[in-house]
Amino acid sequence: MATEPTDPDPATLCARAPRPARSSSRPLVPPLDLSVVYCPDDLSHVDGLSDGSATGYIYARDGHPNAAQLAEKLTRLEQAEAGWICASGMGAIAAALLSILGQGDRVLIAEGMYGRTAALVERQMSRWGIDHATFDPADAGSARAAMTPNTRAILAETISNPLLRVADLPGLAGVAREAAIPLIVDNTFAPLICRPVELGAGLVVHSVTKMIAGHSDVTLGAILGERRLVEPARVLASTLGQTGNPFESWLAMRGLATLALRMERASSTAMALARRLEAHPGVVRVHYPGLESHPDRALAARVLGNSGGSMITIDVGSRERADALIRGLAESIPFAPSLGDVQTTLSHPVTTSHRALDEAARARQGITPGLVRISVGLEDPEDLWDEFRTALGFPE
């Protein structure tokens, strides 16, 4: 074996990677592994890494330690068998769907899904010969009625956006089971609150960008579920260049450390805020799964347990009043069309997430110009209420 010269030229010294730092103790915090490539010892080691008989990595797009650590945690949290980290929530949804569906197949998607998910199915997958039909996520019978012999998957969100309807996951899992096809659940709005695998989902996807990472500085997604379904999705995600990167996986792991505390706090504040908003004369309607007035309250109790989650959507009656509310809160509560941040943020579905839908489609789904979606954060509940009450411009 050739050894390095004892006194190499500076150019050689500069160019070569340093030797691994020697330490008999381990870091408390996961190290950040930015390496794009990992060096096998020899050709049989490459064979072993490729066929899985040796553990390790070769090329970061096909796997790296930071994504593997995050995937392992999320897999355990969702009670899944396997997991994979993707470059975004959309990357995860696309990889999950496209690893199952091919030309001539059909997918059933819940009405009122996240706009880009609907656009992926309706505008992109349709070009590749993949058909779709929609169903009411709170009514498993409507999914059964839409089933055809070429239907290969059912896709629903645990809590829909922006009206926060709750999907009948046990019922939908039953329909999927009868047809021997997977139920895929986007659990972005309900991490820790709901475990779709326990309710019968074959795959769970997350926009890790939201509550899981929790600080609006990470764009990532996750696919979790049965190994036989995750494995082809992993291969497809890697082939499409959709693997999550090390730094964002590392940041998401840091965010994940406080997920349970954040979800608990944000959900209890959301419950209190929803009640007060419901009693306010300036608010026409409050959509919150924890309220008695929510159309899916009984279902929510089964699917979400005793939490209503951290999202509230209110209807203040018109685009003008929604605009006034957003402007009135601008100093304290940002208009930021995302969700799941440590601070409370607002979104206006008609002009942001559901902008691509035409007016008739929005009206069919009940997405009115006066809707304002609130992603509740970790502020003091009384401070939040004072700000909303003042901005709504009516006495309590």
User: Which strands, in side-by-side order, build the sheet including 203-207?
Assistant: 82-86, 221-225, 203-207, 183-186, 151-157, 106-110, 131-135
Among the listed residues 298, 295, 210, the one whose alpha carbon sits nearest the alpha carbon of residue 256: 210
Selected from 209, 216, 269, 313, the binder of ligand PLP by CB under 6 A is 209
Q: What is the rounded CA–CA span in Å between residue 71 and residue 86?
A: 10
Q: Which helix (H) or strand (E) holds 265?
A: helix 259-278
Of residues 60, 77, 80, 90, which one binds ligand PLP by CB under 6 A? 90
| Subset of 216-245 contacting ligand PLP (CB under 6 A) | 219, 221
Q: How far apart are CA 107 and CA 249, in angstroms?
A: 30
Binds ligand PLP (CB under 6 A): choice among 207, 307, 345, 347 = 207
Q: What residues from 148 to 187 belong to the interface with ligand PLP (CB under 6 A)?
A: 157, 161, 186
The number of residues in the chain equals 396
Nearer to ligand PLP, 90 or 169 (CB): 90
Mark the segment that binds ligand PLP (CB under 6 A) among 84-92, 94-102, 249-257, 298-306.
84-92
> Residues with Cβ < 8 Å from 101, sequence gap 6 or more?
107, 125, 130, 152, 153
Which tokens go with 54? 């040796």
Residue numbers 272-301 binding ligand PLP by CB under 6 A: none
Size of the site for ligand PLP (CB under 6 A): 13
SS3 assignment, position 19? coil
CB 230 → ligand PLP: shortest distance, Å?
18
Mutual orientation of helices 319-328 and 381-392 as an angle, nearest 10°?
Answer: 130
Minimum Å distance from CB 167 to ligand PLP?
12
Q: Which is nearer to ligand PLP, 88 or 307 (CB)?
A: 88
Provide the residue type at 37 as one letter: V
Binding mask 184-203 for ligand PLP (x = CB under 6 A): --x-xx--------------
The answer, yes or no, to whether the previous bond of 162 is cis (omega within 30 of 0) is yes
Residue number with CB closer to ligand PLP (63 or 221): 221
**Are 349 and 162 contacting, i.e. CB atoms less than 8 angstroms apart?**
yes
Q: Does 114 bind ligand PLP (CB under 6 A)?
A: yes
Nearest residue to ligand PLP, scored by beta-carbon proximity? 89
Residues found near ligand PLP in the complex (CB under 6 A): 88-90, 114, 157, 161, 186, 188-189, 207, 209, 219, 221
